[in-house]
Amino acid sequence: PPSGNLHNVVTSAQFISNTDSLLDSYSHASPSGSSQSTTATSSISISPVWHCAWSTDGSILATSHGRPDACIRLWKCQHETIRQSPRTTDPATNDDDDDDDDDESLSGAPSWHLIATLRAEGDTSGGLSHHNMTKSKSRTIRSIAFAPTPPNVRAILAAASFDGSISIWEDFSSESHGKQEMMSHHLDNINDHFNPSNTKKKNMDRIADTACGWECTAQLEGHESEVKDVTWNATGTLLASCGRDKTVWIWESFLPGTIGGDGNGSTGPSGGEGDFECLAVLQGHTADVKCVKFAPSHEQFGDGDEILLSASYDDTIRCWAEDAGEWYCALTLEGVHMSTIWSIAISPSGVRMVSGSADKSLAIFKCYTGLEKNEMEEGRDNSSSSVAAHRGGLSDGVWKCVGKLPNAHSQDIYTVDCAPSKAGHGRILSGGGDDCIHVYREVGGTSDAPLFSLDVSANKAHDGDVNCVKWHPTNGRLFASTGDDGLVKIWRYDT
């Protein structure tokens, strides 16, 4: 039976929600610790929230929203400080506790503030009424990813769009002090914008769009149709994208503060802007490519430091490797899932992968060295293997399915995530079409045959499909989820 507990972090405040649609959802933790929510009724169409991404330090959460109000929203958490009442003199001891040294402040419930709403040029203007917004051009953002830039470098965000483009956003807020002062003036009243009776709401996005300091500095084009996912490598020197056109693109990026980047990496004017160049267009999948993730090569694939894994509507996962500057398909994982593979996640060590599929199952993969692969395949007919060898041949390593949870959800599994190393617990998150979020923990077995157990579940976590779940990068007790109900929820996980 499940052993953990899930609580909604946001108690006195609202769920992060689609503010433009005024669809407020208030969460109140029940005495038992389980979460419950009520949603205000509205005649305005809901914009699904497709994806979310944490900044490298976890200070900002970005969310991508679909039509009718397609945009990217950036949220920041602030803890309200509550000062304790002064202590009084104890008559029994005549001790006066009202000393400056005894004054204590407590950190109250977290309050999530909308700090920016990003739209590409030509998209919906925040100055329009909502009636006009729905008729304006909007660009559904399917996936977003923060670049792993150093702390002293401005934040950079990549966004995959249904129109076939990838937009790159950079935070120049430190160079826009005047604008930031204006933004700060409005942050004090930010929660009022979640109130349907607030007549100032319609101006919120106009303020955020013009005052937040974020700018779209590049737009990458090449995909013939919807871009489904984007992801950065560990150093920010590569950006990968995939789409409905069955292709995987790898872009070389020259970001401020990274290898080959312009300027000294500061957030000032000398930091420069990022630049991008297409390195490879990878073809091999026979249907939509849903998800891409970089992983370390461990010197087992080609001569590059990293490999790229892609999951597809064709029920396969492909492993792409680099050799002498050329990318090739090192292997294809097939026969593990019987339907679309919607999502893959890589463990912090880079030697384990988890996949979620429309066949309602989770699969656990382990990366083996080339030597281990040769030992496993000795005396076995390679033609019967579920791993199809490509140009890499026997010199490459191999990924092998070492475990499977056949009924992890009752409907399609759309999203999976592995806890980061700083979480310290190695749990697996999953969400899907059954509106549920599950947390799985490893309970035994070996690395070649691990055993997992359902640790805790949140039934009806969203009023509709759960599209994305993401662990906080530094706090293993927090994760975010997004759904078709237009909401973003922040959860607290107690082991």
Q: Residue by residue, what is the 3-state secondary structure of 349-407?
A: CCCEEEEEECCCCEEEEEEECHHHHHHHHCCCCHHHCCEEECCCHHHCCEEEEEEEECC
Query: What letters, b where the CB count within 10 A reaches 16 and e where it falls short, cover 57-86?
Result: ebebbbbbbbebbbbbbbbbbeeeeeeeee
Through-space distance between the first and last CA atoms of the chain, rounded to whole angstroms: 14
493: exposed, middle or buried (C-beta count within 10 Å: 0-12, 13-18, 19+)? buried
Quote the tokens at residue 366.
């382990």
C-alpha 186: how far from its chain's center? 27
Asked if pLDDT for residue 234 goes beyond 80, the answer is yes
* Model confidence band, residue 467 (pLDDT cutoffs 50, 70, 90): very high
Q: Which residue has the higher pLDDT, 197 or 155?
A: 155
Q: Taking residues 317-331, what's their average pLDDT? A: 96
Query: What was the pLDDT predicted at 260?
Result: 60
Q: Is the dihedral of CA 39, 62, 416, 494 positive or negative?
A: negative
CA 268 – CA 174 distance, rounded (Å) = 7
Q: Taking residues 121-140, what's their average pLDDT? A: 40
Q: Taking residues 325-347, what's their average pLDDT? A: 97
Q: Which residue has the higher pLDDT, 107 or 437?
A: 437
Asked if pLDDT for residue 223 goes beyond 70, the answer is yes
CA 180 – CA 42 distance, rounded (Å) = 32
The amino acid that residue 2 corresponds to is P
352-393 pLDDT per residue, tens: 999 999 999 999 999 999 888 888 877 565 433 444 444 444
Query: What was the pLDDT predicted at 408?
Result: 97
How crowded is the C-beta side of 378, counted as CA atoms within 13 Å?
6
Quote the tokens at residue 453.
């157990």
Asked if pLDDT for residue 351 goes beyond 90, the answer is yes
Indicate the pTM of the whole model.
0.78
CA 359 – CA 406 distance, rounded (Å) = 8
Among the ranges 188-197, 260-269, 327-336, which has the highest mean pLDDT value? Answer: 327-336
Q: Give 310-355 as a DSSP string.
A: EEETTS-EEEEEEETTEEEEEEEE-SS-SS-EEEEEE-TTSSEEEE
